[in-house]
Amino acid sequence: MSKILDAILCKGLPARDIKNANRVNLLAILWAGTLAVTALSREYTWHSTMLFISIIFTVHTAIGVLMVFAFRKFLKELDDLERKIQLDALALSVGVTIISFSSSSILSVAGVIEKLDQSSLIMLMAITYMIGTVVGRIKYR
């Protein structure tokens, strides 16, 4: 259990890597927050105004671009082992998401299940990435 907790809390990583990871995590939370605001705006009349749509689109896209650059910096500054762990987790995440989406598309076309929405795929990708990172840290550290 302590290995899992150490992997989640980034024990053993240099302070620079933890700082970079925290920057990426903060931007990811803000990015997800802008999606939540748009989902909540459906309950109100905010989403029907072009000004609101323009603002939320611009903020969401800008945060997303900043997050990509922060993640790139994070990956570039990692040591070789942690970079391998991160890239393995990314590969797992993308693979699971592609397979899940294509498999669910077959079932959806056949009428067996409802079509998956985008938020489900984003959550699947994020959860798979987190699990892959934790498993990799336990395996290699």
pLDDT digits (tens, 9 = 90+) for 83-123: 999 999 999 999 999 999 999 999 999 889 888 788 888 89
- Global confidence as pTM: 0.83
What pLDDT score does 85 carry? Answer: 96
| Burial readout 86-122 (b: 16 or more C-beta within 10 A, e: otherwise) | bebbbebbeebbeebbeebeeeeeeeeeeebeeeeee
- Do residues 136 and 87 lie in contact, with contact meaning Cβ atoms separated by under 8 Å? no
What pLDDT score does 90 carry? Answer: 97
**Rounded Cα–Cα distance for residues 76 and 73 (Å):** 5
What pLDDT score does 97 carry? Answer: 95
The mean pLDDT value of the chain amounts to: 90
What pLDDT score does 46 carry? Answer: 67
> Distance of CA 42 to CAs 36, 46, 75, 99, 138, Å?
10, 7, 37, 31, 42
